């Protein structure tokens, strides 16, 4: 009996998390295999011959919620400035033109010399009905203020343009091409959801339409 009730608790928690992150899949990084999180592209760009390194891994060191989060580390060298990044393109139909959305995540980090965190959300045409690919930037390229503790990051009231059916999310940390350039960033609870105010307005508009139809 104990195992049954703990299973239903997990199922309810999972259901709630799915609703909260309706547009982003696996925004809390709980699903995955080892260091690879499902639904996310994990990128680590480094090279040269002088020891530059980058890593992007799902880990359990310091989650904001659940058991897992993402960790990105960069170490620069005189011949290379590395990049550690996560990306996700949401499903076709996850965004409706004209609707308003809120993008948010939690980030913390140690911005050593030369290190900056960035994020950007691009409107995207995933089914190719409007030429395919990016349909403009929702947020512009934004820097992330990195503090030792998790801090909310993001932007609200993002209105989807005509031709957008999804978004492309990029969160990354970069450092310089010099000795001593180093930094790290952790991320959890990535969310891209309809703005609550917009949902309310849509609901009210629906009521007005229904009222008019009834009178007619
Ligand atoms: Ca998590």
Q: Which residues span the domain enclosing 97?
A: 2-211
Q: How far is the CA of 108 from the centre of ligand 1 (A)?
A: 13
Answer whether residue 216 is part of any domain.
no
Contact 16, 38 (CB under 8 A): no
The helix (run of H) or strand (run of E) holding residue 70 is: strand 69-75
Residue 140 within a domain: yes
- Residue 147 Cα to ligand 1 midpoint, Å, equals 18
**Domains in the chain, number:** 1
70 CB-side CA count, 13 A: 33
pLDDT tens string 148-197: 999 999 999 999 999 999 999 999 999 999 999 999 999 999 999 999 86
Whole-model pTM: value is 0.82
Distance, CA 34 to ligand 1 centroid (Å)? 14
For residue 14, report the distance from its CA to the centre of ligand 1, in Å: 12
Q: How far is CA 93 from CA 99, 122, 126, 129, 138, in A?
A: 12, 15, 9, 12, 16
41-65 burial code (b ≥16 CB/10 A, e <16): ebebbbeeeeebbbbbbbbeeebbb
Expressed in angstroms and rounded, the spacing between residue 47 Cα and the centre of ligand 1 is 30
Distance 85 CA to ligand 1 centre (A): 17
Q: What is the per-residue pLDDT across 23-78, written as a single tens digit (0 to 9) for each? A: 899 999 999 999 999 999 999 999 999 999 999 999 999 999 999 999 999 999 99
How many helices (DSSP H) and strands (DSSP E) are in the chain? 2, 13
In a domain, 171, yes or no: yes
Cβ proximity of 27 and 167 under 8 Å: no
183 CA to centre of ligand 1 in angstroms: 21
**Domain contains 104:** yes
> How far is residue 216 from each of residues 127, 208, 209, 211, 213, measured CA to CA in Å?
38, 12, 11, 9, 5
Look at residue 181 and tell me if it is in a domain.
Answer: yes
Selection from 25, 157, 53 nearest residue 102 by Cα = 157
């Amino acid at each position: 009996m104990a195992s049954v009730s703990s299973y239903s608790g997990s199922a309810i928690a999972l259901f709630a998390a799915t609703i909260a992150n309706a547009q982003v899949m696996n925004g809390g990084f709980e699903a995955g295999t080892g260091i690879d999180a499902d639904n996310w592209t994990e990128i680590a760009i480094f090279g040269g011959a002088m020891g530059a390194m980058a890593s992007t891994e799902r880990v359990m060191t310091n989650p904001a919620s659940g058991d897992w989060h993402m960790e990105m580390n960069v170490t620069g060298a005189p011949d290379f400035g590395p990049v550690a990044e996560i990306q996700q393109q949401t499903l076709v139909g996850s965004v409706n033109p004209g609707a308003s959305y809120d993008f948010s995540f939690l980030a913390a980090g140690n911005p050593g010399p030369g290190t900056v965190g960035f994020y950007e959300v691009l409107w995207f045409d995933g089914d190719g009905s409007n030429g395919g690919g990016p349909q403009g930037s929702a947020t512009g390229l934004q820097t992330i203020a990195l503090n030792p503790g998790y801090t909310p990051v993001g932007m609200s009231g993002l209105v989807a343009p005509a031709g957008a059916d999804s978004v492309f999310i990029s969160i990354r940390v970069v450092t310089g091409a010099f000795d001593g350039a180093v930094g790290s960033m952790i991320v959890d609870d990535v969310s891209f959801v309809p703005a609550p105010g917009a949902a309310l307005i849509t609901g009210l508009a629906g009521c007005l339409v229904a009222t008019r139809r009834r009178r007619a």
